[in-house]
Amino acid sequence: MDQNQRLLRLCNGFELHLSHQPGASQSAALLQVKAGSYDEPARWSGLAHLLEHLLFSGGEQFPGQQRLMPWVQSLGGQVNATTLAYRTAYFWQVPANCLGDGMARLKDMVLHPQLTAAAIAQESRVIDAEYRLLQQHLPALTEAALLHSIENPACFRDFHVGSLACFGEDTALLRQALVAFHARYYVSQNAQLRLSGPQSLDELEEMARQFVAGWPEGTARAAEPLPQLAAAPHAQLKQNGPQQLWISWLIQRSDDVIRDAVTLLREFALDAAPGSLLAQLREQGFCREISFHWLSTGDNSCWPAVKFITDTPDQLLAAWQQWLAQLAETSPQQQAHYQQLALRRFHHLTPLEKVRQQTLGFAPESAIPHLDQLLPLLKESVCLWVSPDAPTQTCVTQGYTLSRSSWSLPSMSLEVRWKFTFYPQPLPEPAPAVLADGAGLLHLKPDSWPATLLLRPAWHCSPDAVRGRALAEQLGGSFAWLRHLGGEAEWAEVQGIWQFTLQLPANHSAAQWLMTQIADALVSTSPAHPLPPESIALRQLLAALPGVLLASTGSGQWQGALLGGDRTLAQQLAARMAVLPPLEEVEKARPARQMQPIAHPGNENALLLFIPLLDATPASLLALQVLARCYEPLFFQRLRVELQVGYAVTCRYLRCGDRDGVLLAAQSPDVPIATLLAEFKAFLRNMTAQIAQLTQEDIQQHVQRLLHEAQGQNIATTLQRTLRREAGLAELPEETNTQLTAVDLLGLHQQLLSQRRQWRMLFSRGKQ
């Protein structure tokens, strides 16, 4: 374990994982309790899920708006939880200096939950709404189809989400079951805590020990039984959408070595560099996307899976088997190289994503690869074929009615004999060197390394999502090749704008070669696959918002900022930028209608309201973000808790398509769009009195946190901010002593209310 990590196993059974992150501005915490859906009594399906929801209702010391969730929201942080088969996890991220206050709130809600009758009734309805939504949620249905391959224990096929029908009408009896479940499993013997942040390991340990003090010891939960596959585990699932092949392995081990090896396997498989598995599958048209998932993890078994978006399962299976055989022949040096890539991928994550991946996902815990211990365990797989053309055969499992049937694996196609490339490999021939005077490229901190280039279209312009994703796929091989040289490259949608972020190695030939690949991709006519609709209606509205706000879906101009690198590199990049072709013909966006329907196949009502900030200045932008921090917890409280419109409710500051504004959004299974809009407006009107009650101390706390967070942003965000200032666009003030008053906030709030003609509303109306 490196010097920035510390693992402690206390005498009461509590396990502490501490991570010092030098330079981070945020801290994160994750509490995992070894109890999940498969531990609940047979009488109470969904009990573990319901308890997870209820703990956020608050404890003895921090009720109401002081409890963890609204408190984190008021800080602009992130907070969530998840209930899995044998685990429940609570995780959140806040400014680093607030970690201790957050730990006190977490301890209060977990150890002293109130479990009031009102909260139980409220969260029961929320979970019932979730269950109704999941009935049409493809990822949930696919997971249920995969888990049905387990014959024993029966819990893999039982219903666990929860519903009003399961919870019944006797709230007192349900509360007794919740209290008993909490007392049995929420004990130190079953708990693990992860803390990550810029604090020293000693400081993190002190906070962790304060958190652990007072926990009941209880009895450790017994190890779960080993799962047993059905006689015919391979299956096919009839579902609309892109065809998918899932290959998974039920491994009768679940130690750090195996999980680390699965992470390394994932790193090899996700490599898109020329000659790799993914690159060749894309070239042949056999697969567009690969992703890895954990279907289940327990004390003595784990179930990893890989998903392929493919129309040719026979070709895919053949390629995969040949790839595994060649992977087994890779050298220790090659495996160590990919292990380093996995470590780099992990280190780029936020503190919150790091603790989540370490607990629930794919995190390399060692610099030493252990692939040789995993590959022999992958000989027997469980496959699922998902296709609209699969036969219809009814199967009821986990509370879902599926069109699932057994599947005989297709004969592996041997039309293609595959020869795969594993890295590192020699550098390709560079393009001829060209130089320019650097005009058009902002160069910051010259002669420092590494060098990071931000390259983006003109302001308020961007390709649409279909074209953007096609370019991402086309450039994936070049970007992956750069990773093997120590660089990083990404073409991604950031705040509604597709842009390049390139971390370039000191090798100028590599930078020139990459820029040539980018220029070639921008003039190509590679096919753009239509995007399938988002499974959640609210996400579909968010995906559509950039197209509503952008002035153009193309750009004939490029602008960039380079941080680091020498003068020669800046000259070469400027020359390449000067000849970059337009993404496509500039298409002026039509004037946006105030209220626009967005097609979605679901049957729920979703509404998104974006209120733009007009004529933004640094001061008004700061006031807008403070207002959003004030709105967020109260909006959640009003719509999610008091009105109970549904489980999906959000309010926050948002920059989208180079426009700043406040976002309010909600999704409901039964509340009409008109009613949602009326509640949005009523909330905004009622906020006038709330803002007037803010003290100057409250306001300045928000101001200082926002300005502090702005200073701790990543390099790409810093470059974006610099480009905006150069163009005269508003960014947060650089002065740390900036003052705001309640009068300033009220003035802006009233301005936002008065400019209703500028509001943009998107809605997705459920099937009637």
Buried b (16+ CB within 10 A) or exposed e, 26-48: bbbbbbbbbbbbbbbeeebbbbb
pLDDT of residue 558: 87
Structure letter (DSSP) for residue 636: I
CA of 291: how far to CAs of 31, 270, 590, in Å? 26, 7, 37
Q: How far apart are CA 718 and CA 539, in angstroms?
A: 27
pLDDT band at residue 428, thresholds of 50, 70 and 90? low
- Order of strands, sheet of 760-764, starting from the edge strand that comes earlier in the sequence: 595-597, 760-764, 605-612, 659-668, 648-656
pLDDT of 733 over the 50 cut: yes
pLDDT of residue 434: 65
Q: How many Cα neighbours within 13 Å face the side chain of 191? A: 28
pTM: 0.91
Of the candidates 150, 148, 138, the one whose C-alpha atom is nearest the C-alpha of residue 395 is 148
pLDDT of residue 575: 87
Of the candidates 54, 53, 98, the one whose C-alpha atom is nearest the C-alpha of residue 72 is 98
CA of 434: how far to CAs of 492, 567, 713, in Å? 27, 13, 33
Q: How far apart are CA 702 and CA 37, in angstroms?
A: 39
Higher pLDDT, 646 or 74: 74
User: 673-692 vs 742-754: helix axis angle to the nearest 10?
Assistant: 160
- Sign for the pseudo-dihedral over CA of 256, 259, 262, 266: negative
108 Cβ contact list (under 8 Å, min separation 6): 58, 59, 60, 61, 62, 67
Torsions phi, psi for 584 (to 5 deg): -175, 175
pLDDT of residue 586: 45
pLDDT of residue 654: 97
pLDDT of 500 over the 90 cut: yes
pLDDT tens digits, residue range 507-562?
888 888 898 889 888 887 666 677 777 888 999 999 999 999 998 776 567 899 99
pLDDT of residue 768: 43
Contact 142, 386 (CB under 8 A): yes
Q: How far apart are CA 290 and CA 277, in angstroms?
A: 10
- Asked, as a colleague might, if the bond just before 450 is cis with ω within 30 of 0, I would say yes
Contact 638, 664 (CB under 8 A): no
pLDDT of 767 over the 70 cut: no
Residues with a known catalytic role: 52
pLDDT of residue 723: 94
Torsions phi, psi for 460 (to 5 deg): 65, 20
Contact 229, 296 (CB under 8 A): no
Q: Which two tokens stand for residue 691?
A: 């803002």
Whole-number mean pLDDT of the chain?
92
Q: How far apart are CA 709 and CA 350, in angstroms?
A: 13
Q: Are strands 382-387 and 235-238 parallel, antiparallel or unpaired?
A: parallel
Place of tokens 């510390």: 6
| Range from 263-267, 376-380, 523-527 carrying the lowest mean pLDDT | 523-527
Helix or strand run (H / E) with residue 692: helix 673-692
Q: Which two tokens stand for residue 199?
A: 């604090």
Contact 53, 318 (CB under 8 A): no
pLDDT of residue 440: 72
CA of 271: how far to CAs of 105, 268, 285, 389, 614, in Å? 41, 5, 17, 31, 44
Place of tokens 């040949």: 322
> What domains appear along the chain, each with residue ranges and CATH number?
5-212 (3.30.830.10), 232-406 (3.30.830.10), 441-578 (3.30.70), 596-764 (3.30.830.10)
Percent of the chain surpassing pLDDT 90: 78
Percent of the chain surpassing pLDDT 70: 95
Q: Which two tokens stand for residue 42?
A: 């047979």
Q: Which two tokens stand for residue 622?
A: 């700061």
Contact 160, 48 (CB under 8 A): yes
Higher pLDDT, 415 or 92: 92
Task: Provide the CA 489 distance to its chain's centre, in angstroms.
Answer: 19
Classify 218 in phi/psi space as left (phi over 0), alpha (psi -120 to 50) or beta.
Answer: left
CA of 79: how far to CAs of 19, 180, 577, 646, 690, in Å? 19, 26, 40, 18, 24
Which amino acid appears at position 748 of this protein? Answer: L
Average pLDDT over residues 489-517: 91
pLDDT tens digits, residue range 337-375?
999 999 999 998 999 999 999 999 999 987 888 899 999
Which amino acid appears at position 509 of this protein? Answer: S
Which amino acid appears at position 182 of this protein? Answer: H
pLDDT of residue 439: 59
Q: How far apart are CA 642 and CA 634, in angstroms?
A: 10
Contact 102, 68 (CB under 8 A): yes
Q: How far apart are CA 721 and CA 316, in angstroms?
A: 44
pLDDT tens digits, residue range 569-608?
999 898 888 888 776 554 544 545 689 999 888 889 999 9
- Give DSSP secondary structure letters for 747-765: HHHHHHHH-GGG-EEEEEP
pLDDT of residue 507: 83
Q: Which two tokens stand for residue 37?
A: 């859906």
Q: How far apart are CA 19 and CA 2, in angstroms?
A: 10
pLDDT of residue 201: 97
Of the candidates 598, 594, 589, 622, the one whose C-alpha atom is nearest the C-alpha of residue 609 is 594
Neighbours of 283 (CB within 10 A): 11
